[in-house]
Amino acid sequence: MKRNYVILALSALVLMGCQPKKSSEKLWNNPQKPLSVWMAESEMQRIPDGTYLDEMNGKLKWNYTSSIEMLAFMDLTTATGDERFWNYTKHYIDTMIDEKGIITSYKLSNYNIDHVCPGKMLFDMYERHGEARYKIAMDTLFSQLMSHPRTQDSGFWHKQVYPHQMWLDGLYMGAPYYAEYVHQFIPAEQQAAYFEDVARQFIVVGEHTYDPATQVYRHGWDESKSMFWCNPETGQSAHCWGRGLGWYVMGMIDALEFLPEGESRDQVVKIFQDIYLYILPKYQDHKTKMWYQVLECPHRKGNYLESTGSIMFVYGFLKAIKLGVLDEKYTFKAMDWYRKFVDCFVKVNEDGTISITDCCAGAGLGGKQMRSGTFDYYINETVLRDNDNKAVGPFIWASLMYEELVAAGK
């Protein structure tokens, strides 16, 4: 059940790069089956029990890492009618949430924004099955947001153990859940202030992490300006981590699905559009059209093309066109990005499964590991692995949208 880890020396990272497949190996062109289904089936073959996703070895843990993949499985069932993927997820959820709605391993007082994210699985699960425990768990997660510590300008702290800090990662972890909960369960006449608060999260972190010199959003911001990893004048971390920006755009596009028209929504749309029209093209690798681990340093020695951030950008592009956040004229480019991702990072294994390669296992700022956020820190997180949940989930979503466009003759 363990994933395929590849420990890479720095010299190998420099030489590796991303090798596009030969033209005869274009998986997106008439594959054996839709890549969305093929990837999900491959994961279920590798890991038959969802409690073993993300190297948990069966330990019950409520976290975003597994949920991002299983939420994609649920959407795959909705798209295809194949119940295998739904049942895989339901087994995990029913193992994690008891009959009283208590979430195993979850503690509200930890105020960890990561632990709100798995609640996104519960909206459709509750709508379909109507079990009270799902709604109780959702209410608990919403109550965390209502009491979650904040910066002075109302941004959610990343975690209680990271006081006064906002990371781009956290905008996916909390805001889309917040927006969907308000849409589903708060009376319409009371929703406006909550939706303003959701939009405010993206605006605040954008204001504090944007670096005009490089025109990118840096990974994190410390309001206290006291952390060893931050600039003492701006509070910003040193670099833009590719996946960090990926979380930011996924958080925006998922929340925009629920935010009503208005000035705050328009501000979020403007941030999103600028990232896609200016930032991502500027730092895109010219050959592969993918993105690097340290996004704003594409030509710096030791940097490497990384799959989790790249597929998040592809997902955001396709969904933005679907929702009308970006113009339909960009459809061909978005589809091309998807094909380039498959060429670069997706391979067929000897057992007939497929894998996504070159996934950064993780990166962060500070903590017990004293993560510095320097260029050397990011490129020396030397464990790359195949099939990280944070690539698989967005890949399934992107594949579903791509396959829908192909079916429509695009």
Residue numbers of the chain with a pLDDT score lower than 70 = 1-25, 30-31, 55-56, 382
Residue 147 in domain: no
Residue 387 in domain: yes
Burial 111-126 (b: 16+ CB within 10 A, else e): bbbbbbbbbbbbbbbb
Spacing of C-alpha 263 from chain mean position:
26
**CATH number for 38:** 1.50.10.10
**Predicted local distance difference test score (pLDDT) of residue 311:** 99
Angle made by CA atoms 52, 168, 255, in degrees to the nearest 5: 80
**Predicted local distance difference test score (pLDDT) of residue 1:** 40
CA distance 195 to 218: 25
**Predicted local distance difference test score (pLDDT) of residue 25:** 64
**Predicted local distance difference test score (pLDDT) of residue 274:** 99
Residue 258: half-sphere exposure toward Cβ, Cα within 13 Å: 25
Neighbours of 15 (CB within 10 A): 10
> Is residue 234 classed exposed, middle or buried when 0-12, 13-18 and 19+ CB atoms within 10 A define those classes?
middle
Q: What is the pLDDT of residues 3-52, one digit of tens each?
A: 443 433 333 433 345 654 443 368 888 667 999 999 999 999 999 998 88
Burial 163-178 (b: 16+ CB within 10 A, else e): bbbbbbbbbbbbbbbb
**Predicted local distance difference test score (pLDDT) of residue 3:** 43
Residue 89 in domain: no
Residue 22 in domain: yes
Task: Return all residues near 11 (Cβ < 8 A) that are at least 6 apart.
Answer: none
Query: Strand locations in 155-209, DSSP E?
Result: 165-167
Residue 50 in domain: yes
- Number of domains making up the chain: 1
* CA nearest neighbour of 315 among 213, 387, 245, 226: 245
Angle made by CA atoms 345, 89, 339, in degrees to the nearest 5: 20
117: left (phi over 0), alpha (psi -120 to 50) or beta: alpha
What are the structure tokens assigned to 323, written together? 């929702």
Residue 116 in domain: no
Residue 366 φ then ψ, to 5°: 65, -140
Residue 335 in domain: yes
The boundaries of the domain holding residue 331 are 5-54+163-407
Contacts 24+ apart (CB under 8 A), 221-228: 221/165, 221/166, 221/167, 222/164, 222/165, 223/151, 223/152, 223/164, 223/165, 223/166, 224/163, 224/164, 226/164, 227/165, 227/365, 227/366, 228/366, 228/370, 228/372
Residue 113 in domain: no
The single residue listed with the structure tokens 């701006």 is 234
Residue 49 φ then ψ, to 5°: -115, 120
CA distance 292 to 185: 40
CB 305 within 8 A of CB 292: yes
**Predicted local distance difference test score (pLDDT) of residue 153:** 97
111: left (phi over 0), alpha (psi -120 to 50) or beta: left
DSSP H or E run through 323 = helix 307-323
